[in-house]
Amino acid sequence: MNELRTILTETCTRLFTDHVTTAVLEAAEKGEWPAALWQALEENGLTLPQVPEARGGAGGSWNDAFVVLMAAGRFAAPVPLAETMLAGSILAEAGLDAPLGPMTVAPAHIDEGLSLARQGSGWTLSGRATRVPWGARAEHVVVVADAGGSPMIALVAGGHAKAEADGSLAREPRDTLVWSGAPVVAAAPLRGRLGPRPVWAGGALVRSAQMAGGLEFLLAQSVKYVTERKQFGRPLAAFQAIQQNLALLAGHTAAAGMAAQQAFHVVERTGEGGDATFEIAVAKVRTGEAAGLGAGIAHQAHGAIGFTYEHSLHFVTRRLWSWRAEFGAESHWSVALGREVAARGAEALWPHMVSR
Amino acid sequence: MNELRTILTETCTRLFTDHVTTAVLEAAEKGEWPAALWQALEENGLTLPQVPEARGGAGGSWNDAFVVLMAAGRFAAPVPLAETMLAGSILAEAGLDAPLGPMTVAPAHIDEGLSLARQGSGWTLSGRATRVPWGARAEHVVVVADAGGSPMIALVAGGHAKAEADGSLAREPRDTLVWSGAPVVAAAPLRGRLGPRPVWAGGALVRSAQMAGGLEFLLAQSVKYVTERKQFGRPLAAFQAIQQNLALLAGHTAAAGMAAQQAFHVVERTGEGGDATFEIAVAKVRTGEAAGLGAGIAHQAHGAIGFTYEHSLHFVTRRLWSWRAEFGAESHWSVALGREVAARGAEALWPHMVSR
Amino acid sequence: LAAGAPVSAHWVADRQSGPLLLRFGTEEQRQRFLPRISRGELAFAIGMSEPDSGSDLASIRTRAEKVSGGYKVNGTKIWTSNAHLSEYAIALFRTKVVPDKKHEGLSQFLVDLKSPGISIRPIIDLAGGHHFNEVHFQDCLVPDDMLVGKDGEGWKQVTTELGFERSGPERYLSSLQLVIELIREAGKEPGERAAALIGHFTAHLVTLRQMSLSIATMLQAGQNPNLEAAVVKDVGTTFEQEIPEAVHALTGAEPRIGSGTEFEKTLGYLVQHAPSFSLRGGTREVLRGIIARGLGLR
Amino acid sequence: LAAGAPVSAHWVADRQSGPLLLRFGTEEQRQRFLPRISRGELAFAIGMSEPDSGSDLASIRTRAEKVSGGYKVNGTKIWTSNAHLSEYAIALFRTKVVPDKKHEGLSQFLVDLKSPGISIRPIIDLAGGHHFNEVHFQDCLVPDDMLVGKDGEGWKQVTTELGFERSGPERYLSSLQLVIELIREAGKEPGERAAALIGHFTAHLVTLRQMSLSIATMLQAGQNPNLEAAVVKDVGTTFEQEIPEAVHALTGAEPRIGSGTEFEKTLGYLVQHAPSFSLRGGTREVLRGIIARGLGLR
């Protein structure tokens, strides 16, 4: 990690430490919008770090986006930061400008479809999308939709959809949005480095970074807890069984961080027409597995106290359990990855790995 | 376990302690037949414990067979004891007498078939069977074969097949036998408590008992080793990580023993026309999983020393790795079991379990 | 077990009170409580853990001081299951301080939760549920006739209880509902991948049930299968905690609350509660320590 | 890695000698050995473990006593890889006994295995292979110019070596062949069950490779990533040991020796050798202990 990235990490850490308190997290679960947090993120240019300046972003790289999302995951930041970043990128890649304010993406399910229809010189959007992250709260929604057989990217303002509130295990909004001829702000043919399914692949990408960050929290929090807490007359950290488990957690955390980082790195390196699906699949599978195992280890280390609402562990573990399922769980991406590898043939496995 | 069974266990333990020495095991791997061991087993009526006296057996129960096979597994006894027991039972269930001497069963693969043809008032056997345990060494082979569309049980004497030597990971014989019109000693229509595929189901049954016994050895041997061996100035047993691993091994060992015992119990309870396939599938799956995990834990506890040929651990672990694959691995039996459970329906799971 | 509904969380279910009173209760206590217990009218909250005790259950600091006519209790119990719904608790107090021998000087009591000097504070769990409480005792008088068994023998009595706790069928029943939902989801003719998992689960469930039954048989025969019960609990808990993970790995289903299919909601319930399974009746490390001692390793 | 053939077992492969001599060797030692090492003509046996040392690598008892012109060596090394095939060994001896400080007083030497006073006895592994040896030293004279680095600094030098050992790609390469055979077995259009496992393996392999590369980068930058290397080794070994188990669980294939398909034979080879993977460069417990120390737990 170079120096600039270290500075960025520190900025994020400071910002989230100030703005993502237990009170903010609890309030967010009750539906309160953390306005100060969002404002601080925008003021620091952290909502669209990798979007070109010309398109409304901070002009950084996907590697910067990774750093910001890791930090957001570490703090369980209850805002659609990942979704906004992704939405902004999908717009920019299609040659459209990204607006300010929280955004989200739709459809979040691979088997749902939306459609665009011509209206004068513009377009209108119709269709139904379920489990849209922060769907009712986002000021803009970026969608992939079918326009007479061609996939397009479209930007619609919030409030034009009929919204049914729904939520994730972490009580983050996951709303159903229904558009019926809603006006489209801007539209362009789908293109860009996130490939033919930018919401699906990009969603998996951003979730992998959030999960890697969440795991870092679990590790730090578990180490802290077992060092402070005593049992049978000595700190929990003195028990070899605890040490061995946390070492295992450290391994999963390191692996998840590496897998996610590499995916962002390849997305950055890959220009338009390139394809980072291989690395994205690797990242979603590896971070998702680590999230499940890591949450188990962290809860085991914390014992009963981690099972209380009062303790902050669950703000992260409940998110991890949701994130790993969203935009394709391990089962989806591992089958896709396995089929890709098999189609390439046994002898190609290692050469392909080395060539990436 | 009742008193009679305790006595039987002790008899077996004494016999195997005397006759299954490291020298005997090493010689067996080089192809030497442990004649004294076999003779002792026959003299003590342990080769056909559950076969009725009228059919040439000891007139005990399948629960006795379980005890003997557990002990045989514990000592890695390098003789076709399980195969002989199974062969004798298949004969007896079909109303045929069991001969003395080591026997085996064929075909050992579910997708292989043999056929019987009429010759005068008798039959001849033709076909090819691979991986037949002790195929070339057994004095008799009991086969399931097709006789013009009807399945029959047939007894053929050893030496009538063209044999190609092959072996298991544990260097036990697993020979290919080819019969071309070989004379049949006795034949009868297939029937009995082991169901329509007595070699396959019965093979899985006996292997589960052997595996349960093998696991008991691994546990005892590992406990002994870590108690005696010192590292970093204290016995290995003092390390919590070692303790926790061996506790896990104890759990797998207990579960494997229970699963196998229950299968034998239900086979005993089930008369002709009954069906113990459910319990046999449970036993093969549970003992097979335990065998894989248990071998890993035992080797980890033993460290480098367990990796040497000199140490006796591998006589059991190599057998466990083979046994779990034979007569249907976990993958086979779990799919079969899962399909059976699914066909019965979700709500029937618990009632069915309780009804057995 | 009502099919279709996620099982409710009972960390320390009240299956202990009956056997405990049968074994250690006075004739008067039995006559007073057992009929109502057996009719299901009376459940007991269980008060073992204390704020700093964690897995070290014997490190109990709540004092019960002998006074005229009974014991004066001061201290705090935590993780007291269903104290807000129960009339009585079974609680372990320290009646004598024996330096360096924390297992001595403990006694078991039945406590009327409406007694003066008791205050109950809810503990909300991570899924937002309320099953547990912190119970605070301040100069609370517990009458002599509420002592269970002998003064000072509480630890021995409790470990017997834990034996029951460790072997009971809830060791594998908590997650059974998810297996049932998975079978429903997979349909009557599941693919190979789903069938393999269902078969794996079935093999484990059947075996665990047999293991539990064999412990029950030993208990009925008057034996004290503490080691065997610890083994069953460890095997059961480990398996149970694997279930949500394995189901997610197979189906990729999202664990849900409030909305979604029964399958997704059951997954959501269990994913959140699985961490607690290994806490009931001793953490995994403690259980494995008990097993290791039984193996002669410590 | 020759495709189609099971990889050969190297517990402690000789990737250490070059870096070691580059870092700690005298100019004379470098000139004498490095050209032959880089041409692949010269491999070194590694002599660390002793009969009673196990994972406690510092508990070394083989003495190298300073005498005129060199050191007189007495003692026994075990698990000396390929001593029967190598000209030289790199060995760790005790040159000074410092009571209660076992990590002090150790020194590294290059040893000509044809020297008088050395006898080599084979160790046959459970699969019947011969890769390791017991090497016995009786009054064996090792000349002064064969000391590597400083007298008494052997432990520090060795832990650097172990860093290399722990991060190298053989951490995940030993089992790669089985993954390749599995892909071949599954065919170009695998079922969902096989595809999921292949995808899982691929995700882990790719990630491990990246982790190894990042350690290599740190080493090249002159950093000493001992903790990171231990993490990579632990993750890699744990994954590697899971591979044969997972492949068996999927396919039910029988692990074979001598006969059978390439797939079955590779499975047979790996099932037997997997137990050794966690021994190279420290057992799992020791590695996790190192990681725990890095986390501040001990």
Render pLDDT for D90-107 as a digit per residue (tens, 0 to 9): 999 999 998 888 889 999
Comparing C-alpha atoms, which of A334, B214, C193 is closest to residue D249? C193
pLDDT at D5: 28
Chain A nearest C-alpha distance from D292 (Å): 5
Interface of D with C in 200-219 (CB under 8 A): none
Angle, helices C226-251/A330-344, rounded to nearest 10 degrees: 60
pLDDT at A179: 98
Q: Which of D134, D161, D165, D264 is catalytic?
A: D165
When mean pLDDT is compared across A276-290, B12-26, C77-91, D158-172, the lowest value belongs to D158-172
Residues of chain A contacting D194 with CB distance shorter than 8 Å: 338, 342
A37 touches A14 (CB < 8 A):
no
List the single best residue of A25, A172, A231, A319 to mutate versus C (max C Cβ within 10 A): A231
Q: Is residue B178 helix, strand or coil?
A: strand
Q: Angle at the Cα of C238 (from C245 to B335), degrees rounded to 5?
A: 60
Chain A nearest C-alpha distance from B314 (Å): 27
Residues of chain C contacting D196 with CB distance shorter than 8 Å: 193
Which one-letter amino acid corresponds to residue C234? Answer: D
Comparing C-alpha atoms, which of B101, B98, B52, B330 is closest to residue B204? B330
**Is B183 touching C (CB cutoff 8 A)?**
no
Interface of C with D in 169-198 (CB under 8 A): 191-193, 196
Q: Encoding tokens for residue B227?
A: 């108690």
Residues of chain B contacting C288 with CB distance shorter than 8 Å: 243-244, 247-248
* Smallest CA–CA distance from B30 into chain D, residue: D128
**Is D292 touching A (CB cutoff 8 A)?**
yes
Gap between the Cα atoms of B351 and C209, Å rounded: 12
Which of B232, B304, B332 is the closest to D252 by Cβ?
B332
If one compares C56 and D172, the residue with the highest pLDDT of the two is: C56
Comparing C-alpha atoms, which of D243, D202, C255, D191 is closest to residue A334? D202
Separation of first and last alpha carbons in chain A = 20
* Smallest CA–CA distance from C207 into chain B, residue: B259
C153: β partners: C106
pLDDT at A285: 98
Gap between the Cα atoms of C198 and C214, Å rounded: 24
Residues of chain D contacting B76 with CB distance shorter than 8 Å: none
pLDDT at A165: 96
pLDDT at D166: 52
pLDDT at C7: 32
Active site residues of C: 165
Gap between the Cα atoms of C239 and C209, Å rounded: 12
Gap between the Cα atoms of C166 and C282, Å rounded: 9
Q: Encoding tokens for residue B226?
A: 């870590």
If one compares B284 and C236, the residue with the highest pLDDT of the two is: B284
Q: What is the pLDDT of residues B105-127, one digit of tens each?
A: 999 999 999 999 999 999 999 99
Q: Max CA-CA distance within chain A?
A: 77
Separation of first and last alpha carbons in chain D = 39
DSSP calls for B23-51: HHHHHHHTT---HHHHHHHHHTT-SSTTS
pLDDT at C158: 79
Q: Encoding tokens for residue D229?
A: 């290397």
Q: Angle at the Cα of D6 (from D90 to B25), degrees rounded to 5?
A: 85
Q: Encoding tokens for residue C63?
A: 């004092």
**Is A339 touching D (CB cutoff 8 A)?**
yes
Give me the phi and psi of C123, to 5 degrees please: -115, 120
Gap between the Cα atoms of B244 and B237, Å rounded: 10
Give me the residues of chain D with pLDDT under 50, please. 1-13
List the single best residue of C192, C197, C248 to mutate versus D (max D Cβ within 10 A): C192
Q: Is residue D90 helix, strand or coil?
A: strand
Q: Mean pLDDT, chain C, as a whole number?
A: 85
Residues of chain C contacting D193 with CB distance shorter than 8 Å: 191-193, 196
**Is D99 touching B (CB cutoff 8 A)?**
no
User: Cβ B342–C190 below 8 Å, yes or no?
Assistant: yes
pLDDT at D15: 62
B352: β partners: none
Quick one: what percent of chain B has pLDDT higher than 70? Answer: 99
User: Cβ A243–D206 below 8 Å, yes or no?
Assistant: no
pLDDT class of C163 with cuts at 50, 70, 90: low
C256 touches C269 (CB < 8 A):
no
User: Cβ C188–B343 below 8 Å, yes or no?
Assistant: yes
User: Cβ A306–C275 below 8 Å, yes or no?
Assistant: yes
If one compares B248 and C82, the residue with the highest pLDDT of the two is: B248
Comparing C-alpha atoms, which of C155, C159, C154, C157 is closest to residue C229? C159
User: Cβ A241–C288 below 8 Å, yes or no?
Assistant: yes
Q: Mean pLDDT, chain B, as a whole number?
A: 95
Chain B nearest C-alpha distance from D154 (Å): 19
B5 contacts: CB under 8 Å, gap ≥ 6: B63, B64, B67
Comparing C-alpha atoms, which of D255, D233, D235, D234 is closest to residue D244? D255
Q: What is the pLDDT of residues A20-38, one digit of tens each?
A: 999 999 999 999 999 999 9
Average of per-residue pLDDT across C100-125: 91
Q: What is the pLDDT of residues A69-128, one digit of tens each?
A: 999 999 999 999 999 999 999 999 999 999 999 999 999 999 999 999 999 999 999 999
pLDDT at C1: 28
Q: What is the pLDDT of residues C181-210, one digit of tens each?
A: 999 999 999 999 999 999 999 999 999 999
**Is D98 touching A (CB cutoff 8 A)?**
no
If one compares D283 and A177, the residue with the highest pLDDT of the two is: A177
Gap between the Cα atoms of D233 and D166, Å rounded: 5
Gap between the Cα atoms of C205 and B320, Å rounded: 23
Quick one: what percent of chain C has pLDDT higher than 70? Answer: 87
Which of D186, D207, D231 is the closest to A250 by Cβ?
D231
Q: Encoding tokens for residue A101?
A: 């304010």
Average of per-residue pLDDT across C233-260: 92
| Residue corresponding to tokens 């547990």 | C132
pLDDT class of A5 with cuts at 50, 70, 90: confident
pLDDT at C159: 72
Chain D nearest C-alpha distance from A224 (Å): 9
Which pairing describes strands B140-147 and B103-106: parallel, antiparallel, or unpaired? parallel
pLDDT at C6: 29
User: Cβ A299–C123 below 8 Å, yes or no?
Assistant: no
pTM, whole model, 2 decimals? 0.89
* Smallest CA–CA distance from A238 into chain B, residue: B240
User: Cβ A285–D187 below 8 Å, yes or no?
Assistant: no
**Is A241 touching B (CB cutoff 8 A)?**
yes
User: Cβ C192–D193 below 8 Å, yes or no?
Assistant: yes
Q: What is the pLDDT of residues C2-49, one digit of tens each?
A: 222 223 333 334 566 787 888 889 999 999 998 888 777 887 888 888
pLDDT at C279: 67
**Is A207 touching C (CB cutoff 8 A)?**
no
Residues of chain B contacting C184 with CB distance shorter than 8 Å: 346
D192 has catalytic annotation: no
Give me the phi and psi of C32, to 5 degrees please: -75, -40
Interface of A with D in 245-304 (CB under 8 A): 246-248, 250-252, 254-255, 258-259, 262, 279, 281-282, 285-286, 289
**Three-state secondary structure string covering chain C:** CCCCCCCCCCCCCCCCHHHHHHHHCCHHHHHHHHHHHHCCCCCEEEECCCCCCCCCCCCCCCEEEEECCEEEEEEEEEEEECCCCCCEEEEEEECCCCCCCCCCCEEEEEEECCCCCEEEEEEEECCCCEEEEEEEEEEEEEEHHHEECCCCEHHHHHHHHHHHHHHCCHHHHCCHHHHHHHHHHHCCCCCHHHHHHHHHHHHHHHHHHHHHHHHHHHHHCCCCCHHHHHHHHHHHHHHHHHHHHHHHHHHCCCCCCCCCCHHHHHHHHHHHHHHHHCCCCCCHHHHHHHHHHHCCCC
Gap between the Cα atoms of A215 and D292, Å rounded: 16
Q: Encoding tokens for residue B145?
A: 């074969």
Q: What is the pLDDT of residues B298-332, one digit of tens each?
A: 999 998 888 888 899 999 999 999 999 999 999 99
Q: Is residue D250 helix, strand or coil?
A: helix
When mean pLDDT is compared across A14-18, A143-147, B90-94, B349-353, the lowest value belongs to B349-353
- b/e sequence B94-126, b meaning 16+ C-beta within 10 Å: bebbbbeebbbbbbbbeeeebbbeeeeeebbbe
pLDDT at C101: 85
Q: Is residue D112 helix, strand or coil?
A: strand
pLDDT at D8: 34
H-state helical runs in chain B: 3-19, 22-29, 35-43, 62-75, 81-93, 198-228, 240-269, 277-302, 313-323, 330-344, 349-355
Q: What is the pLDDT of residues A254-303, one digit of tens each?
A: 999 999 999 999 999 987 667 899 999 999 999 999 999 999 999 999 98
pLDDT at B83: 98
If one compares B307 and A18, the residue with the highest pLDDT of the two is: A18
Which of C189, C209, C292 is the closest to B246 by Cβ?
C292
Burial (CB count within 10 angstroms: exposed 0-12, middle 13-18, buried 19+), residue D294: middle
Comparing C-alpha atoms, which of D136, D146, D117 is closest to residue D20? D146
Between B and C, how many CB-CB pairs are < 8 A?
156
